[in-house]
Amino acid sequence: MYSHETVVGKPDPRAYAAACAALEVRPGSRLFVDDVPADVAGARTAGLHAHLFTDKAGTIRRIAAHLDRTRGGGSPDP
């Protein structure tokens, strides 16, 4: 889903809520990655886990940690 296809765009929390609704997932079970601080803040406000991309290695570690947590700590949405 592209934010420009929604009525509201990033960093408006409603954009993230619309994306989660369209994908039928819970915001709290998802990780949002972006290189724009305001967009990361908007995702957090909408209830998503969010990571500010600054380098590839750090982002890969953050994604791996998120996957480890969701796999071991419950059943995330499909």
Helical residues (DSSP H) of the chain, grouped into ranges: 13-23, 37-45, 56-72
**pLDDT tops 90 at residue 1:** no
Could you tell me the two tokens for 25? 């997932």
Q: Look at residue 3 in the predicted model and tell me its pLDDT.
A: 62
52 backbone dihedrals φ, ψ, rounded to 5°: -85, 115
What residues does each domain of the chain span?
Answer: 3-72
pTM equals 0.82
pLDDT in tens, 12-67: 999 999 889 989 999 999 999 999 999 999 999 999 999 999 999 999 999 999 99
Give residue 38's Cα distance to chain centre: 13
Q: Look at residue 73 in the predicted model and tell me its pLDDT.
A: 59
The structural architecture, per CATH, of the domain 3-72 is: 3-Layer(aba) Sandwich (3.40)
Give the number of other Cβ atoms within 10 Å of residue 42's Cβ. 23
pLDDT in tens, 65-77: 999 988 875 544 4
